[in-house]
């Protein structure tokens, strides 16, 4: 079993839709949770960073962490074609961006 | 700010040759640099962590004699794939954590990656 599981998609939705992306994990020691966006042939860029359980909102993006279920989510409201990318969840036991364990990534396409 | 570059962006080499990939933090000094490998449709896998002036720490299963890492300065790390074989073909991505500023020690900034194809 992989430490972090993420549905690779692809996921295709119409512009304006709410997108839900999810990851599950097996290591209960993970405390730091991140979502990255990766455009084709580019390195990942950090979207959201959350510590422990709870919600965090930043503009159209909301990250949720449920440590009891070992489940994290990223919601994108009012999705735009420019949101089309691969979204990777990542998590770590350690503060300070050490030893990140990534999910497989979900390829998302927003259709105009 | 917080830009990381990699060179080359893609490379094709013959089996048995060595390939060097550079990772540079362009506008910040990095306390730590990380090297990842990403196979098609798979997640990024951490290969090694390196700090300037000290030996890299390799993840389990990564051959340190095959993947040589040199962290020469606070802005440059190199990964050399020695005696490359077709199974080493992959997307290699580096990242760097800033030494100073609001993201210091807390965030990894990723380079654009290097696609290696070994024939």
Q: Which of A35, A46, A33, A88 is nearest to B103 (CA)?
A: A46
Q: Considering only the beta carbons, identify the residue of B6, B49, B110 that sits closest to A44.
A: B110
Contact B44 A88 (CB under 8 A): yes
**CA dihedral of residues A62, A77, B107, A85 (deg, nearest 10):** 140
Taking the alpha carbons of A19, B43, A32, B6 in that order, is the dihedral positive or negative?
A: negative
* pLDDT of B103 higher than 80: no
Strands A106-111 and A11-14: parallel
Average pLDDT value over all residues in chain A: 92
Q: Which of B79, B73, B116 is nearest to B94 (CA)?
A: B79
Which whole-number Å values give the CA distances from B16 to B33, B47, B66, B76, in the listed order? Answer: 27, 21, 11, 26
Under 8 Å CB pairs connecting chains A and B tally to 53
At residue B42, the pLDDT reads 83
> Across the strands, what pairs with A66?
A71
At B20, the pLDDT band (50, 70, 90 cuts) reads very high
* pLDDT of B34 higher than 90: yes
| Residues of chain A that touch chain B, judged by Cβ-Cβ distance less than 8 Å | 4, 6, 8, 36, 41-46, 49, 88, 95-105
Could you check whether the bond before residue A10 is cis, i.e. omega within 30 degrees of 0? Answer: yes
Extract long-range pairs of B102-107: CB within 8 Å, 24+ residues apart: B103/B2, B104/B31, B105/A96, B105/A97, B105/B31, B106/A95, B106/A96, B106/A97, B107/A46, B107/A49, B107/A97, B107/B2
Q: Considering only the beta carbons, identify the residue of B46, B107, B112 that sits closest to A42.
A: B112
**Residue-wise pLDDT tens digits, B63-96:** 999 999 998 899 999 999 999 999 999 999 999 9
> Across the strands, what pairs with B77?
B23
At residue B1, the pLDDT reads 65
Average pLDDT value over all residues in chain B: 91
At A51, the pLDDT band (50, 70, 90 cuts) reads confident
Q: Residue B98 burial by CB count (10 A; 0-12/13-18/19+): exposed, middle or buried?
A: buried
Tell me what the mean pLDDT of segment A43-51 comes to.
Answer: 89
At B52, the pLDDT band (50, 70, 90 cuts) reads confident
Cα Rg for chain B, rounded, in angstroms?
A: 14
H-assigned helices in B11-97: none
End-to-end CA distance of chain B: 37
Identify all chain B residues contacting A99, using CB atoms and an 8 Å cutoff: 46, 49
At B104, the pLDDT band (50, 70, 90 cuts) reads low
H-assigned helices in A41-110: none
State percent of chain B over pLDDT 70.
96
**Residue-wise pLDDT tens digits, A8-37:** 889 999 999 999 999 999 999 999 999 999
At residue A103, the pLDDT reads 94
């Amino acid at each position: 079993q992989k430490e972090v599981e993420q549905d690779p998609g692809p996921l295709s939705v119409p512009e304006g839709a709410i997108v839900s992306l999810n990851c599950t994990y097996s290591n209960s020691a993970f405390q730091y949770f991140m979502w990255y966006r990766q455009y084709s042939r580019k390195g990942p860029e950090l979207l959201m960073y959350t510590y422990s359980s709870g919600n965090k909102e930043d503009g159209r993006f909301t990250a949720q962490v449920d440590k009891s279920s070992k489940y994290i989510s990223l919601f994108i409201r009012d999705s735009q074609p420019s949101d089309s990318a691969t979204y990777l969840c990542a998590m770590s036991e350690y503060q300070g961006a050490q030893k990140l364990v990534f999910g497989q990534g979900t390829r998302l396409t927003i259709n105009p | 700010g917080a830009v990381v570059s990699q060179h080359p962006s893609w490379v094709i080499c013959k089996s048995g040759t060595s390939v060097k990939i550079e990772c540079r933090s362009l506008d910040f000094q990095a306390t730590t640099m990380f090297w990842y490998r990403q196979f098609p449709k798979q997640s990024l896998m951490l290969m090694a962590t390196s700090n300037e002036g000290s030996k890299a720490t390799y993840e389990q299963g990564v051959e340190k004699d095959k993947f040589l890492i040199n962290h020469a300065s606070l802005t440059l790390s190199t990964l050399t794939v020695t005696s490359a074989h077709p199974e080493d073909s992959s997307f290699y991505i580096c990242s760097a954590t800033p030494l100073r500023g609001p993201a210091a020690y807390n965030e990894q900034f990723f380079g654009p990656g290097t696609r290696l194809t070994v024939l």
